Amino acid sequence: MTGAWERPAPELASGPNPNVAGLGLEALRALVAALGESPFRAAQIHEGLYRHRWTRWEQFTSLSKALRARLQASTELRWPEIMESVGSEDGSTKHAFRLEDGSLVEGVHMPYGDRTTLCLSSQVGCAMGCTFCATGLMGIQRNLTAGEITGQVVTMLNAHGHAGNDPVNLVFMGMGEPLHNLDQVMAAFALLTDPKGLALSPRRITLSTSGLVSGIQRLGAYARRPRLALSLNATTDAYRDRIMPVNRVWNLAALAAALKAFPLEHGERITLEYVLLQGVTDSLEDGRRLAAFAQQFPSKVNLIPFNPHEGSGFEPPSEERIAELCGLLAAKGLTVSVRRSRGQDVAGACGQLARRHQD
Ligand code: SF4
């Protein structure tokens, strides 16, 4: 079943000059051909955009001064612009990006030891309406383009002064349901993992879905794709129906069937994210049902104690209960970890910073 969950590709009003930020090699070839330049110029521009992450035409010193001037006059080079950045005590920084049409999305830079994780948005707002999520309250405004998704990475890596070979993980866990915008997410994935460009490892990119089964099936058909995570958050249909409306279309049994059929590489596992809400999703009975769900396919479980935000009406679980649930899952042979929401002190949960600006 698809229908209401599918969205058309974004159609942005463009100015007189095309924006090259986010164009792939083919599109750049067409651009340089239109300027009467030889095709290898496209490869040079591609290298400047994605390997060097240059953001102004003056930096493209591999091109002649005359060509730089023509590009300056006939194109735009505009990545998403950081409108506000809020640092957290834990070292993470949440950025609000302003897009070309004035829309706002969020990205988060999270340094962990020698590895950095960037959390990306795939849509402005979200149609899925999960009741615990600030983005869900915004509704869907539009899909992001591949360039806007890639641009969050380029802009955050530049803003935080990363070298080209720094180890970076990407997670599609910001605003939006990435499987709701799969074409643009996969076009961004191709740009992000291109060995001649940003060269990020495909294995270090994770797409988190709310449970869009049609999208899970489409994703599984790609030969190269991100790793899959499921935002599960409930162990009964009765409760999941209430907090994640997508469950009324594809219930837990349909989800489990799709995950069992999802083609995994050797050693690959599907991550199950489970937000713990005190007195709501953190019972031992929940733990047993979670284990039974997770045992149906190669998986690992991420327990996420709730990150309270104003008006949510939910509380985080006790530390004792977190430990009990970890023990219960581990005893069933499951790999389990506890993920503390980063940026808790800076309106950290998905959608909260952008929503504050929108309000
Ligand atoms: S949790 Fe994710 S899928 Fe659900 S409303 Fe929020 S952004 Fe959308």
- One DSSP character per residue, 91-102 reads S-EEEEEE-TTS
Q: Where in the chain is the domain with CATH 3.20.20.70?
A: 80-358
Is 71 within 8 Å of 36 (Cβ atoms)?
no
Assigned CATH for 25-74:
1.10.150.530
pLDDT digit string, tens, across residues 230-256: 999 999 999 999 989 999 999 999 999
Query: How remote is the CA of residue 98 from the centroid of ligand 1, in Å?
Result: 20
* Entry pTM: 0.90
Ligand 1 atom closest to Cα of residue 132: 1
First to last CA, the chain: 34
Distance 179 CA to ligand 1 centre (A): 11
Q: How far apart are CA 235 and CA 213, in angstroms?
A: 17
Alpha carbon 64 to its chain's center: 37
Lowest mean pLDDT among 12-26, 150-164, 212-226: 12-26
Q: Which is the catalytic residue, given 37, 106, 148, 177?
A: 106
Is pLDDT above 60 for 136?
yes
Q: Give the model's pLDDT for residue 110.
A: 95
**Residue among 105, 121, 135 whose CB has most ligand 1 atoms within 8 A, to mutate:** 135
Q: Which of 207, 224, 36 has its CA nearest to residue 216?
A: 207
Give the per-residue pLDDT at 93.
96
Model confidence at 356: pLDDT above 70:
no
Query: Is residue 350 flagged as an active site residue?
Result: yes
Pocket of ligand 1 (CB under 6 A): 126, 128-130, 133, 135-136, 175-177, 210, 231, 350
Q: Please report the pLDDT score of residue 119 as a whole number.
A: 96
Domain with CATH 1.10.150.530 in the chain: 25-74
The stretch 268-294 carries a mean pLDDT of 96
Strand partners, 209: 230
The pLDDT assigned to 351 comes to: 57
Please state the rounded mean pLDDT for residues 15-37: 91
Mean pLDDT of 302-329: 89
Nearest atom (ligand 1) to Cα of 123: 7
Q: Residue 45: enclosing H or E segment and its boundaries?
A: helix 40-46
Tens of pLDDT, residues 48-84: 999 999 999 999 999 999 999 999 999 999 999 999 9
- 153 and 118 in contact (C-beta within 8 Å)? yes
Domain 80-358: give its CATH architecture: Alpha-Beta Barrel (3.20)
The number of C-alpha atoms within 13 Å of 346 and in the hemisphere containing its C-beta is: 20
